[in-house]
Amino acid sequence: MEERLQKLLSQAGIASRRAAEDLIRQGRVTVNGKVAQIGQKADLASDVIRVDGETLKPPEFVYYLLNKPRGIVSTNKRQPQETRRIVRDLIPHEGHLFSVGRLDADSEGLILLTNDGELADRLMHPRYNHTKTYEVLVEGRPSPQTLNAWRGGIELDGKRTAPARVRILSEQENDTLLQVVLREGRKRQIRRVAGALGHPVKRLVRVKIDFLEIGHLRPGQWRDLSPAEVRLLKEKR
C-alpha cells in the first residue's frame, strides 16, 4: 500500500513527519534510485527507499513506559555539553526512540518512549486531548481562591493557561500534596503557575498519561506496553 514518504519515514522511527520533510527537501531520500520529492508516495513492499544511502526497512515497533528519576534529562540524543544521564541511558534499545511527554530534569515520573513516529506525533499533538496527571508537592497550604485561580487558568507570557483539574490529596503543616490534571503542556507550566500563585513546587511526579499509569514502577524502572495498551492508544480520537 502506498503512503506518503514522510509518513513512512516517521513510522520507521527515522524522524518526525516534519523532520522527514526536511530530509526530503535536502535530497537525502531516494526512491528506486531517484531523489524523492515532497508529496511523493511509495510502498515499502515494492519500492526501495533509502535515507542517506541506508535502505529503509519495515519497522519493528517498540513501546516502553519509563519512570524517569529526578536528575535524568528527558532527551534521546546527548548534546556535546550535556554531562548528566539521559532517558536513553535507561532503556537497552538500539536505534532511535521518540520521547512522549518530556519532563524537566528535576521532575520525575512517567515518560513513553517509542520508535513509532506516527503514534508519537499523535500523542504529542494537542488536538487529541491526552490528559497528563501529576502529583505535586507545593510549599504552604493553597487557599480555595488560589486553587480556583489555578483551575481557571492564569496569564503566562501573555497567554492564559488552559483550565486544569486541581485537587488536594493531603495537607501537612508546611506543604500540600496536589493532584493536577492538564491537557496542555507548556514548558515548566506547573512549576511556573504554582510559583506565580505563591506556592513553589517542592516535588513533581507525573503518574499518568491518558490511561497509562506509572503503577508499581520504581524510579529508573521501565516496562513494555501491552498489545492492548498500544491498540487503545492508536484508537484514541
Kindly report the length of the chain.
Answer: 237
How many helices and strands, by DSSP H and E, does the chain display?
Answer: 6, 17
User: What are residue 15's DSSP bridge partners?
Assistant: none
CA dihedral 126, 120, 221, 108 (to 10 degrees): -30
**Residue 42 to residue 4: CA distance in whole angstroms:** 6
- Is the Cβ–Cβ distance between 133 and 127 less than 8 Å? no
- Is the Cβ–Cβ distance between 136 and 95 less than 8 Å? no
- Is the Cβ–Cβ distance between 166 and 147 less than 8 Å? yes
Amino acid in the structure at residue 135: E
- Is the Cβ–Cβ distance between 224 and 62 less than 8 Å? yes
The verdict on whether 22 is a catalytic residue reads no
Select from 98, 97, 77, 74 the least CA-distant residue to 87: 74
Q: Is 83 helix (H, G, I), strand (E, B) or coil?
A: coil
Catalytic residue among 22, 104, 157, 224: 104
Using the structure block, give the residue that is written with the C-alpha cell 520504581.
218
Catalytic residues: 104
